[in-house]
Amino acid sequence: MLILAALLGLSVAGCDIGGGSSDRAAPRGVETSTPAQLGPAEKLADAAAKTNKGVITVVMRAPGLITNTRMDPAGRKATMSIVLAVTEDNILRAEVIQIDTDLYLRMPDLPGASKKWMRSDVADLPAGSPFRVLRESDHTGAADLANCVVSAERKGGHDFLGMLDLTRSRIVSRSVLDELGPMAGAVPFSARTSPRGDLFEIAIDVPSVLPTHGKITYSYSRLDGVDAERPADSEVTELPGSLVDRFEV
């Protein structure tokens, strides 16, 4: 079940522990002009590029899983919280701090894991690790999802519907693609952009092609900064490779 934390790479979003909503106020974006002639798929790619600029929060919701990631790519710092409902009575929580190339992970609910912050250099993590919070490019994963769009249509001013080919993705878990099989090439999605042109929400309608799985929703919002500090040395131990391997995609 722990591999769920890497479900779509977040940037490691059944037992529903939270639900996305499209009624929230849309996030502030960077004021830019977008050519009116952009088609729906191009508009989503443009919105994804804007989403990757500046300090941002990405919340991913999936059945039994919520990840909340706050990123400041210019300041090279980020935080992530993970809440994973293995069962209704068994909830696992994890916290991640990344400052420059130093990554700190704490998993107080995982049996056998240290209760301290566990440190690793990001370069020592597997390429597919969900704990790589600040990717060198496309830190939100929005551009990766936009690249998966094979068809899209506009449904109103800021709403879109279409199909994703998830086999194009570099961040989607291999295990998820294996479960989807040939259906991974045509998964319905909906998206909403903010009034200023960046992404507000993307919802991947997995149940429409694989009824045993739930919908996956990414929500994006702006914030003024990321509150991240290195833990005190007395609260830090090294992150064991055996634990990292359990979360590899």
Q: Which residue has the higher pLDDT, 55 or 90?
A: 55
Least confident of 4-18, 37-51, 180-194: 4-18
Mean residue pLDDT of the chain comes to 82
Instruction: Report the pLDDT averaged over residues 62-75.
Output: 91
pLDDT bracket for residue 36 (50, 70, 90): low
Please write the tens of the pLDDT for every residue from 203-213.
Answer: 999 999 999 88
Percent of the chain at pLDDT above 90? Answer: 53
Domain locations in the chain as residue ranges: 2-245
Confidence of residue 246 (pLDDT cuts 50, 70, 90): low
- Provide the pLDDT for residue 11: 34
Average pLDDT over residues 96-115: 91
Alpha carbon separation from 86 to 39, 107, 236 (Å, rounded): 41, 14, 27
- Supply the pLDDT for residue 112: 82
Select from 1.10.10, 2.50.20, 2.60.40, 2.40.10 the CATH code of 2-245.
Answer: 2.50.20
Q: What is the pLDDT of residue 244?
A: 66
Q: With cut-offs at 50, 70 and 90, classify the pLDDT of residue 17.
A: very low
The predicted structure's pLDDT at residue 247: 58
Whether pLDDT at 249 is above 70: no
Q: What is the mean predicted confidence (pLDDT) over 23-52? A: 69
pLDDT at 19 over 70: no
Whole-number percent of the chain with pLDDT over 70: 82
